[in-house]
Amino acid sequence: MGEVTANIHQLNDSVFAVIGIDGATNFGIIKGSDDSAVLIDADIRRMDEIDDALARTGCKKIRYLVNTHENFDHSSANDYFEKNGTIVVGTNGCYQALEEDGDEKFAEMAGRSPELWTRFPGLKMANLQITFPQEMTLRLPGVAVRLLFAAHNGKSHSRGDAIAILDRDKILFAGDLLYTDFHPVTVYGNIPNWIQSINQLLGHDFVSVVPGHGPVSSGGNDVYKSAFRKFRSYLEDFDGRLKEMKAGRKSPGEVESYMKSGAYTAMGKTWMVKRNIEYSLREAN
């Protein structure tokens, strides 16, 4: 893997986002006055990057790791951090998803990076240690992090969707309910429910929002809401095209071309569009 320098976006004196390169997963670091921290999401494949970010932000102990949902790129370091004394936290939905098929998906994803088994002997999927149905608050000296279950009707982007809010600072870690500048993964979720989750989030006021993938939206309430509205429009458009495709009015190729053109031309991870379409077709059959 080699050493990697983390791309750290500092939101204030104690809150940081680690921004993934080329739309890779973003992580959050919320630091207490005693140099302990809450880590939001962690991908075992990017431990060099995470370790660099924790060292450079002066974090001495990770008290809590929050999984915003169950996907490998957000939960695969649970085992590593649990062995180092960190408490892993997430929603009941996230726990259930990991319990039902986490081992299978972990083996599939980790199998693509065989060097992990050498670096982390005995590495395995680990589930959450503390779960919550709707809301809980994590506290460190000087900071409080409010966690909310945000999957409308049980599934939006995924079954486990959680958001993390620092009410005092008006900062939101949105997990994969928000993508900025990159095509999203829609294969695990329900797009109409996802849109409803976004509608609920638009009822809040934030200064900064950290998406699950893509650049941070900072600069106040208007910037935050603009990012969510833009992404909601994408989901509404894509969902409409998928319905046309399933009704036989559009071909998969036409939908793919459309979602890579016009307002979406500059978006990254274009390969994700075809994958999302193919999965939608399999679901329909």
- Give 162-212 pLDDT, tens digit per residue: 999 999 999 999 999 999 999 999 999 999 999 999 999 999 999 999 999
Arithmetic mean of pLDDT, 267-281: 96
Domain assignment present for 146: yes
Domain annotation covers residue 280: no
Q: What is the CATH number of the domain that holds 173?
A: 3.60.15.10
Q: Are 193 and 158 in contact (CB under 8 A)?
A: no
Give the chain's domain count.
1
Partnered with residue 21 across adjacent β-strands are none
Look up the domain containing 45 and give its range.
8-222
**pTM for this structure?**
0.96
Domain presence at residue 180 = yes
Digit-coded pLDDT (tens) for 54-97: 999 999 999 999 999 999 999 999 999 999 999 999 999 999 99
Three-class SS of residue 183?
coil
Rounded distance between C-alpha atoms, residue 37 and residue 61, angstroms: 6
Residue 264 lies in a domain: no
SS (H, E, C) 212-251: EECCCEECCHHHHHHHHHHHHHHHHHHHHHHHHHHCCCCC
